[in-house]
Chain A
């Protein structure tokens, strides 16, 4: 095993006191369940911990949902594009991701401004700063990796990058220009410095020479401000460092330095300047923060280091998962294999999607992420989807649809079974039967059919006729269900006074062994009124078969003979025998006369 990169963070479980009671834990898909055991005394409330905490931040849900769309778009376009348009498309996708982050940031900013609760305000502000850091990193990665700008345009992109993220210059310009006498304004010279530092459209070579000439001639010796500007324009690093407080960050300094001294920097040389800029700028007093190390890793083109540092520094998987996926589409990650799982992209996507699945509402988004993890996505989805709580049928239908689209038959069966069981417990036999038919679950259909038959035996009438009458082909799912349907058909025929058809069906149910043996007595009893009808219904042959059924029933179970001793049962059998004999007598006469005539 690889060593842990950092010390594991200490998580305080609220309300738990390890001193007095023992804690136990269970690994979940993305979380750890921690609860107090009864080992000491008393029970405790379980508390989930660990995992992707940002998933639960309400205001970030917009980020998750909107980026989901971008993600899907990226996966879909994958096959269609090639060559140059592909690169342009990838840059566009990257920009879309950034605009999603920005939109979320703006929302958060607005929310922070609107709230009066100081705690909430600081929470929003932290989020804004995290989001802006994420955008900053993403943008740099976009320039260096996705767009992979060449020596010339690289600097322009980096200037844009700085301009976008260090936005005080523009506001300063406005302030200075609106005052009456610009040169007397206290900010004027600050502005001058800053503006030159980030000036974009300059004929560098020309300027550079001219500035050095001015400097040599001492043209500006009388005005220290002008002189320092000139020095900066000439690429004097010390002059730049003097204005350190205006530059705010080392990467701002880096870009400035590149602009005035090495405008045609090659991507491969970047890391050298970056390192020295950071050293110069930060000096001895402060050590680099996580953001600094991440950016530095990017300047060094250490992709994996960037992802690693981001995973450690950020409290969500969203950023690394999406960034890695994008970089993977740029074909930048292929050489790297993990010693577990399939690859970095898939590992991170799985982590992120698992986080989504642990959320009560965002789980639907996770499905698509799993779909795009070739190796383990399906297994993850199978395991997660079964654990979604199904509180309404509509939700169950949505989950089922997800499973059916992906041909996850096992899960479909299990969900239908859960729903059937719930319906059964709620005494909704009709619903339960529908669910088990959908699951093609023969055993459960048999169970429910038995319940229907039991109800019938007890009450003497069928419930849920609208369902049983409309079983159609699904009746064939289980023998018992077929019997239920057919038996109900018998009742309908009987009710419609189509006696001979009813009699035929009744007999067929027994001779074809569709009816369970336990139900034969009831069927024979049902035959009684048919036998006693004025006109003869059963033919001689049918009557013989009925008699055989009766004998099979009574003789077949000698041990249960005692049960038959029950008065009611014996009377029933006696009555049946009598009726059968009388029917036989009548039918012999009838058939005899018919043939004779």
Chain B
């Protein structure tokens, strides 16, 4: 495929690296590919005037990232955003399908431990429909080697209420959070391609109503670490379930006075939650106290956080996405504020995911209809040439293990070394991208335009 690769803009390539102060977005890289030549020469004193940008940033043109620093953080970040040409070769790598339901969640089925092949089955959940469904899809070659153009439906089952969140518990079981407050474990029978209810916790989340007895509250997030399942909801409650037990193992009522939007495991006994007043909280299930063990928050702005993900290898690095589309990177070992704030999408960031095996890459999707690929690995051209011949994924893996294992690129605040390449994978989408999932070289995402997309050559 033809990739539009602009010239690399090196920051601070002349003289000492220049710190970026607060609200001066134009001084950061005007990432318009070839427009500015290879080196963006900047004056070394006062923040340089914008480098005569030929075009005003519009929705579809790459805009510079505004590096915003919280007061405590000691370094700005910047990167540039590249739009991948859509159409032609780029179209071939993405297969799409209109599914006549708005997709709220899409998740790859996890691969067995020793698997070498890319993932080929994923599940989706719908929302805002009269009858919402949980569906399982297949992509990829059939046994005969015939390539399937678009995802094929394997089976589906009705779901009561909107699918708010969804996680695979193991190869066969899917945990689904509903807007009715119930949490259901579905089993996917792979021999006869059917779905059935395996376990259900009705009203796992509920409001204690003033007048009536109780009403269900939407369960907004679920995370699994087989056999444990943690759910959070609009009622500010945290539940800990075990897949094989009927009752909740642990419930923290009134864990949060506002809505909890998402949850993820930090370690086996600790979880992270984000809420609608911009707080990131750590909860330790070993403690009997119903209080968070630590609270982090964005400074004063109370911008709701919608999603959270933890770095797969370095557990102290956490990424969150907010209502204003901002990506925050936190180092939970230190401080109570994010290490860096990266101005990203124009509307709510619904999901953020580190690549599970290749965590230099991060993916975010948003209400504004964009899906961004953040790449902090060094530029491909600077890699030793022999690596080009290997398989793509191994290239990246070896690269990241050799160079990046000691200092993580996400916490790297040195502006000279700080190169981040950002690609918008869907430039012309108008409706929200609600969910994405990455596994191996494959990306799946679902939108409010009632379509699911699969990209099977993410690093091609």
Other A-B pairs beyond A62-B450, A430-B236, A430-B258, 6, CB < 8 Å: A58-B100, A68-B430, A69-B430, A73-B428, A394-B162, A394-B218
Do the beta carbons of A361 and B102 come within 8 Å of each other? yes
Q: Say whether, besides A392-B162, A470-B302, A429 and B128 are in contact (CB < 8 Å).
A: no
Do the beta carbons of B129 and A360 come within 8 Å of each other? yes
Interface-centre pick from A68, A364, A474 (highest chain B CB count, 10 A): A364
Do the beta carbons of A66 and B98 come within 8 Å of each other? yes
CB of A467 within 8 A of chain B?
yes
Distance of A587 from chain B, by nearest CB (Å)? 38
Interface residues of B (CB under 8 A from A): 98, 100-102, 127-130, 162, 164, 179, 207-211, 215, 217-218, 220, 234-236, 254, 256-259, 276-277, 279, 295, 297, 300-302, 323, 347-348, 367, 428, 430-432, 448-451
Q: Say whether, besides A391-B162, A427-B210, A430-B257, A59 and B100 are in contact (CB < 8 Å).
A: yes
A69 CB contacts on chain B under 8 angstroms: 428, 430, 449
Distance of B326 from chain A, by nearest CB (Å)? 15
CA A361 to CA B450, docked complex, whole Å: 10
A361 CB contacts on chain B under 8 angstroms: 101-102, 128-130
CB contact between A61 and one of B164, B235, B256, B450 (< 8 Å): that residue? B450
Q: Say whether, besides A69-B430, A360-B128, A361-B129, A392 and B295 are in contact (CB < 8 Å).
A: no
CA A25 to CA B348, docked complex, whole Å: 41
CA A364 to CA B208, docked complex, whole Å: 32
CB of A464 within 8 A of chain B?
yes
At the interface with chain B, which of A2-10, A373-381, A395-403?
A395-403
Interface residues of A in 233-260 (CB under 8 A from B): none
A-B contact pairs, 30 of them (CB 8 A): A61-B450, A65-B449, A66-B98, A360-B128, A360-B129, A361-B102, A365-B431, A391-B162, A391-B179, A391-B218, A393-B259, A393-B276, A394-B162, A394-B218, A425-B210, A426-B209, A426-B235, A428-B236, A430-B257, A430-B258, A431-B276, A434-B258, A434-B302, A437-B302, A463-B257, A467-B257, A470-B277, A470-B279, A473-B300, A474-B302
Q: Say whether, besides A58-B100, A431-B276, A394 and B432 are in contact (CB < 8 Å).
A: no
Q: Say whether, besides A364-B102, A427-B207, A466-B256, A65 and B279 are in contact (CB < 8 Å).
A: no
Distance of A324 from chain B, by nearest CB (Å)? 21
CA A391 to CA B295, docked complex, whole Å: 29
Interface residues on A, range: 35 or more
Distance of A100 from chain B, by nearest CB (Å)? 10
B257 CB contacts on chain A under 8 angstroms: 428-431, 463-467
Q: Say whether, besides A61-B100, A401-B367, A472-B301, A431 and B208 are in contact (CB < 8 Å).
A: no
Interface-centre pick from B130, B215, B217, B258 (highest chain A CB count, 10 A): B258
CB contact between B276 and one of A62, A427, A434 (< 8 Å): that residue? A434
CA A180 to CA B182, docked complex, whole Å: 68
CA A73 to CA B207, docked complex, whole Å: 44
Distance of B153 from chain A, by nearest CB (Å)? 12
A465 CB contacts on chain B under 8 angstroms: 257
CB of A545 within 8 A of chain B?
no
CB contact between A397 and one of B208, B217, B297, B348 (< 8 Å): that residue? B348
The 3 closest A-B pairs by CB, nearest first: A430-B257, A464-B257, A426-B207
A332 CB contacts on chain B under 8 angstroms: none
Interface-centre pick from B100, B164, B209, B234 (highest chain A CB count, 10 A): B100
A68 CB contacts on chain B under 8 angstroms: 430-431, 449
Interface residues of A in 425-455 (CB under 8 A from B): 425-431, 434, 437
Do the beta carbons of A466 and B295 come within 8 Å of each other? yes
CB of A72 within 8 A of chain B?
yes
CB of A368 within 8 A of chain B?
yes
CA A360 to CA B279, docked complex, whole Å: 33
CA A68 to CA B277, docked complex, whole Å: 35
Interface string of A49-74 (1 = CB under 8 A from B): 00000000011011001101100110
CA A154 to CA B380, docked complex, whole Å: 53
Distance of B60 from chain A, by nearest CB (Å)? 9
Do the beta carbons of A428 and B348 come within 8 Å of each other? no
- The closest CB in chain B to the CB of A72 belongs to B430
A58 CB contacts on chain B under 8 angstroms: 100
- The closest CB in chain A to the CB of B211 belongs to A425
- The closest CB in chain B to the CB of A466 belongs to B257
Do the beta carbons of B236 and A434 come within 8 Å of each other? no
CB contact between B348 and one of A66, A72, A368, A401 (< 8 Å): that residue? A401
B218 CB contacts on chain A under 8 angstroms: 391-394
CA A394 to CA B220, docked complex, whole Å: 9
A72 CB contacts on chain B under 8 angstroms: 430
Do the beta carbons of A364 and B300 come within 8 Å of each other? no
Distance of A381 from chain B, by nearest CB (Å)? 15
Distance of B40 from chain A, by nearest CB (Å)? 28
Distance of B58 from chain A, by nearest CB (Å)? 10
CA A68 to CA B98, docked complex, whole Å: 13
Interface residues of A in 401-435 (CB under 8 A from B): 401, 405, 425-431, 434
Distance of B101 from chain A, by nearest CB (Å)? 7
Distance of B407 from chain A, by nearest CB (Å)? 33
Do the beta carbons of A466 and B279 come within 8 Å of each other? yes
CA A96 to CA B102, docked complex, whole Å: 23
Distance of A89 from chain B, by nearest CB (Å)? 14
B347 CB contacts on chain A under 8 angstroms: 401, 405
Do the beta carbons of A467 and B277 come within 8 Å of each other? yes
Do the beta carbons of A431 and B101 come within 8 Å of each other? no
CA A466 to CA B258, docked complex, whole Å: 9
CA A66 to CA B448, docked complex, whole Å: 12
CA A68 to CA B451, docked complex, whole Å: 12
Distance of B199 from chain A, by nearest CB (Å)? 23
Distance of B338 from chain A, by nearest CB (Å)? 15
Distance of B402 from chain A, by nearest CB (Å)? 42
B102 CB contacts on chain A under 8 angstroms: 361, 364
CA A361 to CA B129, docked complex, whole Å: 6
A360 CB contacts on chain B under 8 angstroms: 128-130
CA A361 to CA B347, docked complex, whole Å: 21
- The closest CB in chain A to the CB of B278 belongs to A470
Distance of B450 from chain A, by nearest CB (Å)? 5
CB contact between A393 and one of B207, B234, B301, B432 (< 8 Å): that residue? B234
Q: Say whether, besides A62-B98, A401-B348, A434-B277, A394 and B207 are in contact (CB < 8 Å).
A: no
- The closest CB in chain A to the CB of B130 belongs to A360
CB contact between A428 and one of B207, B428, B430 (< 8 Å): that residue? B207
CA A465 to CA B258, docked complex, whole Å: 11
CA A394 to CA B432, docked complex, whole Å: 12
Q: Say whether, besides A392-B162, A464-B257, A398 and B432 are in contact (CB < 8 Å).
A: yes
Interface-centre pick from B98, B127, B323, B449 (highest chain A CB count, 10 A): B98
CA A268 to CA B220, docked complex, whole Å: 63
B220 CB contacts on chain A under 8 angstroms: 393-394
CA A73 to CA B87, docked complex, whole Å: 14
Q: Say whether, besides A73-B428, A368-B430, A392-B218, A62 and B100 are in contact (CB < 8 Å).
A: yes
CA A426 to CA B432, docked complex, whole Å: 29
CA A227 to CA B217, docked complex, whole Å: 81
Do the beta carbons of A392 and B100 come within 8 Å of each other? no
B348 CB contacts on chain A under 8 angstroms: 397, 401
- The closest CB in chain B to the CB of A472 belongs to B300
CB contact between A467 and one of B98, B258, B430, B448 (< 8 Å): that residue? B258
Do the beta carbons of A398 and B367 come within 8 Å of each other? yes
Distance of B275 from chain A, by nearest CB (Å)? 8
CA A428 to CA B233, docked complex, whole Å: 12
Interface residues of A in 55-108 (CB under 8 A from B): 58-59, 61-62, 65-66, 68-69, 72-73
CA A315 to CA B428, docked complex, whole Å: 31
B276 CB contacts on chain A under 8 angstroms: 393, 431, 434
CA A427 to CA B217, docked complex, whole Å: 12
B235 CB contacts on chain A under 8 angstroms: 426, 428
A434 CB contacts on chain B under 8 angstroms: 258-259, 276-277, 302
Q: Say whether, besides A466-B257, A470-B277, A426 and B367 are in contact (CB < 8 Å).
A: no
CA A398 to CA B104, docked complex, whole Å: 12
